[in-house]
Chains A and B, each alone.
Chain A
Amino acid sequence: DTAVSQTPKYLVTQMGNDKSIKCEQNLGHDTMYWYKQDSKKFLKIMFSYNNKELIINETVPNRFSPKSPDKAHLNLHINSLELGDSAVYFCASSLHRESGEKLFFGSGTQLSVL
């Protein structure tokens, strides 16, 4: 069983479209994250939820909106997609929110905006 699963793995879409990426973890963790990895492999945190509460909200365009219906799920919706949104988006989870916790990552969603 995959611990952190995200769908889809690949997403190719046109500029201006709206798309969603879904993430689920079956580890019983309290905290979930979205990270973005650009074409140079640089990883940057976008959002974090702890028990459905938003605790980290980095400076990202407000076209990006996370939603956590329960602590096992964290989805990412992106409106009006732009070329610069092309990247790999990783979902991750940790048992708790503390800074020493190990992160468990999903296998990523490669988003290509044409």
Chain B
Amino acid sequence: AQTVTQSQPEMSVQEAETVTLSCTYDTSENNYYLFWYKQPPSRQMILVIRQEAYKQQNATENRFSVNFQKAAKSFSLKISDSQLGDTAMYFCAFPLIQGAQKLVFGQGTRLTINP
């Protein structure tokens, strides 16, 4: 079975600090995508970053970057210079089937950025 695991239910850091959220997954596929989605208190899910498994280079979007370790099946999200607006639930997600957008989500990590 393909699963996604986020082992940190909650995290809290001070504004401007760097924080890393962990995610591990299990798959027998060789080529796939991985995603981090953010759900702020407004409730709407927003894509933070996407990684293609066949790319060696880790994806980066401004202050957000990933550490993708394919052999270890690990996909962590690093937020640099954290801001109050980064306070949200963060979900790691993985498509269960190639060729169809059937995402399976991790349990989520509640991140709080303190002033």
Interface, chain A (partner B; CB < 8 A): 31, 33, 40-45, 48, 55-56, 88, 90, 92, 94, 97-103, 105-108
Q: Are A45 and B102 in contact (CB under 8 A)?
A: yes
Q: Which residues of B contact A40 (CB under 8 A)?
A: 107
With A41-B108, A102-B50 known to touch, is A55 a contact of B44 (CB < 8 Å)? no
User: Apart from A42-B107, A43-B91, A99-B33, what 5 extra A-B contacts exist at CB < 8 Å?
Assistant: A45-B104, A98-B100, A98-B101, A99-B98, A107-B44
Q: A41-B89, A99-B32 are in contact. Are A56 and B102 (CB under 8 A)?
A: yes
14 A-B residue pairs with CB within 8 Å = A48-B100, A48-B101, A55-B100, A56-B102, A97-B100, A98-B100, A99-B33, A99-B95, A99-B98, A101-B101, A102-B50, A103-B37, A103-B103, A105-B44
Chain A residues whose CB sits within 8 angstroms of the CB of B37 once the complex forms: 103
> Which residues from chain B contact A55 at a C-beta distance below 8 Å?
100
- Across-interface contacts of B33 in A (CB, < 8 A): 99-100
Look across to chain B and name the residue whose beta carbon is closest to the beta carbon of A4: B44
Q: How far is the CA of A33 from the CA of B47 in the complex (A)?
A: 15
Chain B residues bordering chain A, tally (CB within 8 A): 26
A85 to B98, CA, bound (A): 29
Q: Are A41 and B45 in contact (CB under 8 A)?
A: no
B91 to chain A, nearest CB (A): 7
Contact of B43 among A56, A101, A107 (CB under 8 A): A107
